[in-house]
Amino acid sequence: MKIRATENARIGDYDYVFDCPGCGYSHGIFIKKEGYSGPTWEFNGDMDKPTINPSINHTMMSGKVLMHRCHSFVKNGKIQYLSDCTHKLVGQTVELPEI
């Protein structure tokens, strides 16, 4: 499996997480649920070949300076890194690792 459901997810916790080979962090998504009004993603529910929409844009700032950006689409178990990523897999599409 390439994505997993978080256990005992409370409001404000990610619903699903996956490991990112580009930046080395785990990324999480929220899905629509009662009581949560923040941004949500659509997930096809396939733990082995996940597809997530829209893109996932993870940034780290130091004050107003962008230290790190990981911006990707997850499609059919692969992760496609967009051209604005700041890590080594920028512009590449790779398999998501098993989790």
Which residues in this chain contact Zn ion in the complex, by CB under 5 A? 20, 22-23, 70
In the complex, the smallest distance separating the C-beta of residue 34 from Zn ion, rounded to whole angstroms, is 29
Question: Which residue has tokens 């130091």?
Answer: 62
Closest to Zn ion by CB, 35 or 39: 39
In the complex, the smallest distance separating the C-beta of residue 65 from Zn ion, rounded to whole angstroms, is 19
In the complex, the smallest distance separating the C-beta of residue 55 from Zn ion, rounded to whole angstroms, is 11
Closest to Zn ion by CB, 3 or 70: 70
Q: Cα-Cα-Cα-Cα dihedral of 18, 4, 6, 70, to 10°? A: 10
DSSP state of 87: S
Closest to Zn ion by CB, 11 or 66: 66
In the complex, the smallest distance separating the C-beta of residue 1 from Zn ion, rounded to whole angstroms, is 18
Closest to Zn ion by CB, 9 or 17: 17
Nearest to 78 by CA among 94, 60, 98: 94
Give the burial string for 21-36 (b: 16+ CB within 10 Å, else e): bbbeeebbbbbeeeeb
